Copies of this chain bind each other. A is one copy, B any other.
């Protein structure tokens, strides 16, 4: 089967491509070829047992997307996005990539021989709620930021295209993914990774919220497992509702800081930022995720696993890239 990863150059895209390259199969079928598509040239995974095409282009351009998704494509992982603070700063850019890109994906998917599975990464940011509310699986999406609104609107259209048999979408609302390798980015949640990653690199970082602040999180390793599960699952169990709230983990900032050594902890400086706090403060911190667990999505078990995943998978390379 042919697989395409949109946003294949991002940190989740690279990890997913590496995992597919290791296994060589998906849903019991041999992967015949893989296309990675991103704005900048995405790196091919090492030692892939199948041919890998690396393409650049704009996900909102149906022609570029059509080249990235040839008619024989069976699975598309849609990881390309303009993230939360960037979509808040530039409304037009967010609409184009996060919503128009999804409409272009529907257009292209309709040309495939068999309706392809679309694993669409939506977000916890498509919901709003206070710190204590446990969000039910059928909770209404009432986003308080443009990124979340665009994701929720795209979900509706992918769900409708699934109902019509044009494609076969699973809309998975990812928690805040930590610990992100590399550098801080424009996500409003960038600090959540930074308060662990930067101290582990021996670097100072700022904390824009207070220590009692709770978040819904997961590790990149667990997320890659969810993406594969979403690609392999029998979607007939979903019916009309193509949305999945996966089983992440609720942690407080204080619990995260307590996982650091005292010397590392001292590198995190409190610097309240009302803009960042305003965005992430509207994201719910707790989800029931009953449906996802029943469907076999593996839960994020604890903060120790998250830190272990970063140390094993990303710390050495991040250190090398950043010279620390």
CA distance A160 to B152 in the complex (A): 11
Interface presence of A164 (CB below 8 A): yes
Given contacts A95-B103, A144-B240, contact A156 B163 (CB under 8 A): no
Smallest beta-carbon distance A208→chain B, Å: 21
Interface presence of A146 (CB below 8 A): yes
Interface of A is mostly: helix
Q: Are A146 and B128 in contact (CB under 8 A)?
A: no
Instruction: Tell me which of A23-31, A135-143, A258-266, A314-322 binds B.
Output: A135-143
Interface presence of A93 (CB below 8 A): no
Please give the residue numbers on chain A whose beta carbons come within 8 Å of chain B beta carbons, in ascending order: 91, 95, 99, 103, 128, 138-146, 149-150, 152-154, 156-157, 159-161, 163-164, 166, 240-241
Q: Are A149 and B160 in contact (CB under 8 A)?
A: yes
List 11 contacting pairs A-B, 8 Å CB cutoff, sorted by A.
A91-B166, A95-B157, A99-B153, A99-B157, A139-B140, A140-B140, A140-B141, A142-B241, A143-B156, A149-B159, A153-B154
Q: Are B156 and A152 in contact (CB under 8 A)?
A: yes
Q: Are B128 and A143 in contact (CB under 8 A)?
A: no
Residue numbers in B under 8 Å from A103 (CB-CB): 95, 99
